Structure 1
Amino acid sequence: MADSVNQKTIAKPSEPARRAVVTGASSGIGAETARTLAADGWGVVALARREDKLKALADSIKAKGGSCEYVVCDITDEGSTNDAVKTIVAEGPVKALVNCAGAAFGKDPVATANLDDWRGMYELNVLGTLRIIQKLLPTLKESEGTVLIVSSTAGIEPYEGGSGYCASKFAERVMARVLRLEQIGEPIRVIDVSPGLVQTEEFSLKRFGGDHSKADSVYEGVPDPLHANDIAESIRWAVDLPDTVDIDSIVIRPRAEGSYTKLYRKK
């Protein structure tokens, strides 16, 4: 994969960079989105819980001429999110909020699903997204900014074993749609990006509690699954459009995936 940072033009130091807050930036889609936006001249503020990962990300972006700061933040915690937003807003206006933080826990049927798995997915995918949006919405309006939510095709079509994750992603997509309706006439854009099968280093591994065999089986035989940079590029394109253009929804899948239950695998 080509180095996207080297393919973009970094904003000149004399030009104030548009600032984008990216949640879930310690890995996967969030980390790649931070790299892609920084390469496109954005000033990135990376949010996640793991400081070591955030520091490594910020250092790598800065080493290539990009702008990236980080704030340790757990969006499932009110105090942590309050402190993070105060720090961010004190440093200047925010032009975009890109909500990448999210996870799936377990793949059990409804009859035996673990309540703590459901609770964890709702706290992170739904309430965490709501919390950070509410706190940054005023400054985003001031800058005629964008709220972008990375949901999932799991929020479009349910599948067996995915009830908890699908429910949380349905809720996230509905949140984006309702916010869009409620903010008509306000200087704010609301965008939903719904990825299908994306192969990242942690998503399936976390879902299956660290079981590498189960995690690997998700992508086994699938030619050219999506990768984090594919989603990051769609995010970059959407937020780079004029402020008056709202991309309500992007559904992005690999060519091999027609739906969750229609997936081509090589024998």
Structure 2
Amino acid sequence: MKHALITGASRGLGLALAKALADDGWSLLLTARGEEDLMSAAFDLGARALPGDVADPAHVARLADSVPELDLLVNNASGLGPTPLPRLADYPPDALRALFETNVIAPLALVQATLPALRKRKGAILNISSDAAVEAYEGWGGYGATKAALDQVSNVLAAEEPDVAVWWVDPGEMRTRMLADAVGPEEAGAAPPPESVVPALLRLVGSRPAPGRFTRGALE
């Protein structure tokens, strides 16, 4: 049996991917901050759940202790930052520090904590990125900077850990609460649902290509 740990798994892409992996027979450990939604999702999927904040080192340690065997780590949990999205000239430095803590430092800390298990199984790391990491969208500078940093963290990890596959994926716009918070419910409602990108992610995990950055279009 294969084992996966998915962060941000109570809704959106994390939950959609968890459902697909559960259907494929994977053993799952799910985490997210929203305890009620997380526990409900885990019950429905027959998965284990450990609610908490991935930016909390103690929670990261508990997660790592809970997965002595690990084939796939999905760093999906992410923060958006202040809304309405501020221009960089107006971005509160403390808010940007907090966003880097959630979107960059926390995923790396979880990678560090689970690397022994991943190395043992020659597992894989899937970091969820964004087109904001490489494009200049007004108002998206803070969020985009964190995703650009996560991309480079992934890139270097791939070079340093040859026995662990590392992919960083831009799934494109999806109909999620985060997108609605950023652009409004009407525009977000026109985006495809998270479930639509899951088949591409399953192909990625199943085919185990060379490490690198992938877009949704490249995977379909």
Tell whether the structures are fold-level matches, with TM greater than 0.5. yes
2:16 partner letter: E
2:174 partner letter: V
Quote the Cα distance in structure 1 between the aligned partners of 2:25 and 2:70: 14
Find the partner of 1:204 among 170, 176, 179. Answer: 179
Find the partner of 1:252 among 196, 216, 220. Answer: 216
Residue 84 of structure 1 corresponds to 63
Residue 233 of structure 1 corresponds to 199
Instruction: Give the greater-gyration-radius structure (CA).
Output: 1
Give the deviation of 1:234 after TM superposition: 2.0
Secondary structure at 2:67's aligned position in 1? helix
Secondary structure at 1:158's aligned position in 2? coil
Residues 66-122 of structure 1, C-alpha deviation per residue, up to 9 Å, x if partnerless?
xx1111231101112112211232xxx111101111121231111111234312321
Residues 173 and 179 in structure 2, CA contact (< 8 A), matched pair in contact too: no
Residue 26 of structure 1 corresponds to 10
TM-score after normalising by structure 2: 0.90
Give the deviation of 1:191 after TM superposition: 0.8
Quote the Cα distance in structure 2 between the aligned partners of 1:199 and 1:174: 26
2:30 partner letter: A
Find the partner of 1:147 among 100, 106, 125. Answer: 125
2:29 partner letter: V
Which structure has the highest helix share of the two? 2
- Root-mean-square deviation (CA, aligned residues, Å) is 1.7
Quote the Cα distance in structure 1 between the aligned partners of 2:210 and 2:61: 28
Matches within 5 A, 1:89-100: 89=68, 93-100=69-76
Residues 36 and 232 in structure 1, CA contact (< 8 A), matched pair in contact too: yes
The more displaced of 230-239 and 188-197 is: 230-239
Structure 2 gaps of 5+ residues are none
Give the deviation of 1:47 after TM superposition: 1.1
Residue 185 of structure 2 corresponds to 216
Give the deviation of 1:165 after TM superposition: 0.5
Find the partner of 2:27 among 37, 43, 46. Answer: 43
Residues 127-172 of structure 1, C-alpha deviation per residue, up to 9 Å, x if partnerless?
1111111100111010010011011111121211111011001001
TM-score after normalising by structure 1: 0.75
Matches within 5 A, 1:124-163: 124-163=102-141
Quote the Cα distance in structure 2 between the aligned partners of 1:171 and 1:197: 20
